Amino acid sequence: MPDALELLETRRTIAHVQLAEPGPSDEEIRRIIAVACRVPDHGKLTPWRFVLYRGAARAALDARLEPLHRAKFPDLPAEKAEIERTRFSRVPLTIGVISRTQDHFKVPIWEQELSAGAACMNLLLAVHALGFAGQWLSGWCCYDAEAAAILGAAEGERFAGLIAIGTPTVPPVDRPRPAFGDVVTEWSA
Ligand SMILES: Cc1cc2nc3c(=O)[nH]c(=O)nc-3n(C[C@H](O)[C@H](O)[C@H](O)COP(=O)(O)O)c2cc1C
């Protein structure tokens, strides 16, 4: 297992179409979720929850989503439609991170949503630490109310991400990262 800093410096997304079996075991999924829960959470509101899409349920889910997707995007090229038609069944494990916020006298909704983003990021890091790879996805099914309900979002909830997880079939290739000077300013009086 890489040391902590090396882990942070080497994590990189592997596209969902390049993720294959095996996915994490039950035990590893429990560890991943435990790490995802270890995020700052102002007011201890637990403003997120997780949905696992795995095993035989994946094909059933794809089949439920397919007619909705076809109706919404009737002119999609066949290749793209096929990728979408197998969105869940192609990937060993997808974890949906649902943002569930509440009105609170002290904690703005924004902070609760940030905590859900942090949960997504911790989840990706745990996946990497265990030797798997992942991709933080959203897509039409997160934003379409009917599709999001099929995916398990209740009234008032929305998806912070669908994290696709598996074993990489290609080596990671990094992308350019912002230079220090492009993202950092030093405040002075
Ligand atoms: C909230 C959120 C949603 C995203 N949704 C998608 C998506 O639907 N499709 C996609 O190709 N990338 C999406 N991305 C981008 C990838 O997860 C990833 O950031 C990108 O491929 C860069 O990889 P990196 O993690 O190595 O920087 C999303 C990122 C975020 C933060």
Residue 185 has pLDDT above 60, yes or no: yes
Model pTM score: 0.97
Q: pLDDT tens for residues 116-167?
A: 999 999 999 999 999 999 999 999 999 999 999 999 999 999 999 999 999 9
| Residue 182: inside a domain | no
Angle at 95 between CA 61 and CA 41, to 5 degrees: 140
- As a residue count, the chain comes to 189
| Residue 179: inside a domain | no
Average pLDDT (10-31) is 97
pLDDT of amino acid 155: 97
CATH number at residue 90: 3.40.109.10
Total domains in the chain come to 1
Strand partners, 167: 20
Mean pLDDT, rounded, of the chain: 96
Cα-to-centroid distance, 12 and ligand 1 (Å): 10
Provide the 8-state DSSP code for 115: H
* Position in ligand 1 atom list of the atom nearest CA 16: 11
| Residue 1: inside a domain | no
Residue 2 has pLDDT above 70, yes or no: no
Closest Cα to atom 14 of ligand 1: 137
| Residue 48: inside a domain | yes
pLDDT of amino acid 177: 96
pLDDT of amino acid 14: 96
State percent of the chain over pLDDT 70.
Answer: 99
How many angstroms separate the CA atoms of 160 and 165, rounded? 16
Residue 1 has pLDDT above 90, yes or no: no
Given ligand 1 and candidates 11, 124, 136, which is best to mutate, with the most ligand atoms within 8 Å of its CB? 136
* Position in ligand 1 atom list of the atom nearest CA 15: 21
pLDDT of amino acid 156: 96
| Residue 78: inside a domain | yes
Helix axes 78-85, 57-72, angle to 10 degrees: 140
Around ligand 1, the residues with Cβ closer than 6 Å are: 12-13, 135-139, 161
Cα-to-centroid distance, 71 and ligand 1 (Å): 25
Whole-number Cα distances in Å, 44 to 14, 41, 71: 32, 5, 41
| Residue 77: inside a domain | yes
| Residue 6: inside a domain | no
| Residue 64: inside a domain | yes
* Position in ligand 1 atom list of the atom nearest CA 139: 8
Average pLDDT (59-87) is 94
Cα-to-centroid distance, 188 and ligand 1 (Å): 34
Residue 114 has pLDDT above 80, yes or no: yes
Domain that holds residue 72: 18-170
Given ligand 1 and candidates 7, 13, 19, which is best to mutate, with the most ligand atoms within 8 Å of its CB? 13
Average pLDDT (95-122) is 98
Cα-to-centroid distance, 63 and ligand 1 (Å): 24
pLDDT of amino acid 17: 95
On the 0-12 / 13-18 / 19+ scale of CB atoms within 10 A, 177 is exposed
